[in-house]
């Protein structure tokens, strides 16, 4: 009877070790459970709900500003935006016309997701960006930057 208990315990412990080893190895393999990919984990970059987004490919910031300006200055424009790539990084430029606010959401190749918000002076900032490629127009408050992971 004592030998039977020892054999039973040994089989249970051996089964647990094999199950743990199988699970551990399956998590390391490229096709492991959970549909793992080689992409970076983290915050998904997307515009907030309610924005009408025009998607473009690789685009110079001045061209993206011209596109956003043409959308934002349309009669009755609400929340509009442009999605483009700048040196391989995905960028959203968003204009909340009724809220008089501009926003940039960018995802760099390192995986960092950044948000910059500029309050006020929407028309002046769009005009400046059309010529200079950024919304930091002189005489207007600077944008507020934050990391979207926090």
Q: Which domain holds residue 132?
A: 52-147
- Strand 89-96, strand 101-107: pairing: antiparallel
Residue pLDDT, tens place only, 121-136: 999 999 999 999 999 9
CB atoms within 10 A of CB 13: 10
97 shares a domain with 64: yes
**Of 29-38, 71-80, 133-142, the least confident:** 29-38
128 shares a domain with 62: yes
Q: pLDDT grade, residue 25 (50/70/90)?
A: confident
On the CB side of 53, CA atoms within 13 Å amount to 18
Q: Look at residue 40 and tell me if it is in a domain.
A: no
Average pLDDT of the chain is 84
**Alpha carbon distance, N-terminus to C-terminus of the chain:** 60
Residue pLDDT, tens place only, 45-82: 777 888 999 998 898 999 999 999 999 988 888 999 99
81 shares a domain with 135: yes
62 shares a domain with 111: yes
Q: Look at residue 41 and tell me if it is in a domain.
A: no
64 shares a domain with 7: no
């Amino acid at each position: 009877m004592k030998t039977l208990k020892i054999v039973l315990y040994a089989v249970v412990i051996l089964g647990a070790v094999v199950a743990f080893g199988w699970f551990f190895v399956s998590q390391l393999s490229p096709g492991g459970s959970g549909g793992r990919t080689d992409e970076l984990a983290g915050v998904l970059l997307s515009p907030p709900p309610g924005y009408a987004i025009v998607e473009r490919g690789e685009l110079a910031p001045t061209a993206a500003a011209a596109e956003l300006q043409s959308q934002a200055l349309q009669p009755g424009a609400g929340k509009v935006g442009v999605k483009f790539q700048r040196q391989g990084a995905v960028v959203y430029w968003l204009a909340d016309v009724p809220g008089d606010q501009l926003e940039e959401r960018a995802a760099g190749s390192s995986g960092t997701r950044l948000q910059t918000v500029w309050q006020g002076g929407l028309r002046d900032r769009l005009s400046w960006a059309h010529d200079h490629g950024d919304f930091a127009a002189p005489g207007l408050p600077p944008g507020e930057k934050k990391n979207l992971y926090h």
